[in-house]
Structure 1
């Protein structure tokens, strides 16, 4: 089921607060970017009553890094995004969103194109990294591996995530499962995943998540979007993808930066400034539910190979004659 506005606020503002608080020095250097420039000029005689002090201060916005965003979001930007989501929700409540004109033709063309193009997500995507259940791998372990893959994938390229999962699988005594993560030292986990983005924070999240799953979910992972999003470092995209892959339940669309970017470029959504959560709500208001699961890997791979963030390969794009954002003269 779709998450509420309060849960969205929590995913934007409190994701990092769920982890064990690092030192104040680390917070300053890694979590925040704040700069104050001070220029002072004083008269040589400090005792003079006419002493003049000129102080010029320039303060930049404090920037918070979040696991679910591909870029840094400042506080005012986050509030603006939340307001945009609120407006979108109210509008969708009053009148159902109409599907964009011609979307099916564009969708089917991209889908057909992707059948012949192998992208990193097709072989190394986080939904493909867990071991299949077998005599040696329980269903619970397979689901836990899927969750770990998703947690490590944030702001990390697929091949780096795949290598980190392989490191954990090979270096953890007994392999990658919940109990072995619990028993391992956090520094050891950090060494295994050192190439992924925000690896120190994610090592902390892994330990905390394993403990929560052990104590509150009988050594399994949560089986609801709400439960998954209560885990440290897990946002909406991860929760919906985890439900689809680990629990085989289609609760919503997993919208990452690729899906967010491409659907706005195609004119399917007008949520560029509002963010991925607004894009998810917009898409779910008109896209058939049967397509909710396949749209993520389809568009992620399309973004990895053709519709990249910078310098998209419009001349090679199969829908360049239907895309309103094409960057070359037709």
Structure 2
């Protein structure tokens, strides 16, 4: 779930927009799951600003709340002390300059404390349903450079590069697609290339070859059901011989050389295999016959 989707659907349109802004302000250097917990506490534990007024997360309650209480409710997010100050300052600005609502322009949003271009574009899209740019965070910047889409030095350069060619109707979804991918599979440290379809199919130039080979070996193992002589059904794991899998070289970060007369090479589904005559193929098949074992 993207942080821009944490606003309460039951809140008024104005309060939903404010909650969207707050969720984005809390999101930097913070996991979505942690942000969701902090948002839920603000939505349920902020006291009403006046007797008879509704409790929960709205502009008036943030204005009236003691900073120590807000800090206590959001303590789990990164840089919670600074974010507490930003929330209080932003609440004053929204009251004085925006009639109690959030800005409906990129310029107005980035003028708020703690709000940068990425947050502004995401907020404008989620809160006002207007997509005027791509929200680029560290995941989008890192992954698109890993894939070789461009060579950029910072998220703002990446945003401009993506907007120069990516169809406008994809601007909104690319952020949450790549952020989720970067948080679960293509991690900053310890990328899970063996679990990634792009790596397993030889489509990712940055995939780690050892992880891809191991992931391919695991995926080529199958579990089947076998009926024993006594009528019992057992599960049998059927897998390729270890040397058969290792001999398949996934084309990752490598250039495939042109075939020569001495050794012709065929590339199929991201793998290289040597061409063989019919007798050699029969020998290879008999040598690499599948074996079954109980699991």
Give the structure-2-normalised TM-score: 0.67
Q: 1:306 aligns with which of 148, 163, 185?
A: 185
Give how far 1:127 is off.
1.4
1:14-56 deviation digits (Å, cap 9, x = unpaired):
xxxxxxxxxxxxxxxxxxxxxxxxxxxxxxxxxxxxxxxxxxx
Within the alignment, does 1:153 sit opposite 2:27 as a pair?
A: yes
Aligned with 1:293: secondary structure?
helix
Match of 2:8, SS state, is: coil
The 4+ residue runs of structure 1 with deviation greater than 6 A are: none
CA distance in 2, matches of 1:202, 1:213: 16
Count matched residues. Answer: 202
**What displacement does 1:323 show?**
1.3
CA displacement at 1:206 relative to structure 2: 0.3
Supply the RMSD in Å over aligned alpha carbons: 0.9
Which residue of 39, 43, 54 maps to 1:165?
39
For residues 111-150 of structure 1, the aligned pairs below 5 Å read 122=1, 125-132=2-9, 134=10, 137-150=11-24
| Structure 2: distance between partners of 1:127 and 1:198 | 19
Deviation at 1:306?
1.1
CA distance in 2, matches of 1:131, 1:167: 12
Structure 2 CA distance, aligned partners of 1:189 and 1:237? 24
CA distance in 2, matches of 1:305, 1:171: 31
The aligned residue for residue 205 of structure 1 is: 86
Partner SS state of residue 84, structure 2: helix
Segments of 5+ residues of structure 1 without an aligned counterpart are: 1-121
Superposition deviation, residue 218 in structure 1? 0.6
Residue 282 of structure 1 is matched in structure 2 by: 161
Structure 1 residue 318: Cα displacement:
1.3
Instruction: Tell me, yes or no, if structure 1 residue 184 matches structure 2 residue 73.
Output: no
Counterpart-to-counterpart distance in 2, 1:323 and 1:247: 36
Structure with bigger gyration radius: 2
Partners of 2:3 and 2:135 in 1: CA distance: 12
* Aligned counterparts of 1:184 and 1:305: Cα–Cα separation in 2: 36
Tell me the alpha carbon deviations over residues 237-284 of structure 1, each in whole angstroms, 9 at most, x when there is no partner.
Answer: 10000011000001100001111111011111211xx11111101100
In 2: Cα distance, 1:128 partner to 1:288 partner? 23
- State yes or no: 1:233 paired with 2:105: no
Match of 1:44 in 2: none
Distance 1:260 1:170 in 2: 35
Q: Tell me, in whole angstroms, the C-alpha distance in 2 between the residues paired with 1:308 and 1:235.
A: 23
* 1:202, distance to aligned residue in structure 2 (A): 0.3
Matches within 5 A, 1:1-330: 122=1, 125-132=2-9, 134=10, 137-173=11-47, 174-271=55-152, 274-320=153-199, 321-328=202-209, 330=250
Partner of 2:254: none
Alignment partners' CA distance in 2, 1:204 and 1:316: 41
Distance between the aligned counterparts of 2:75 and 2:91, measured in 1? 19
Q: What is the SS of the residue equivalent to 2:140?
A: helix
Aligned counterparts of 1:241 and 1:181: Cα–Cα separation in 2: 22
In structure 2, runs of 5+ residues without a counterpart are: 48-54, 211-249, 251-295
Q: Measure, in 1, the Cα distance between the counterparts of 2:161 and 2:37.
A: 34
SS in 2 for 1:292: helix
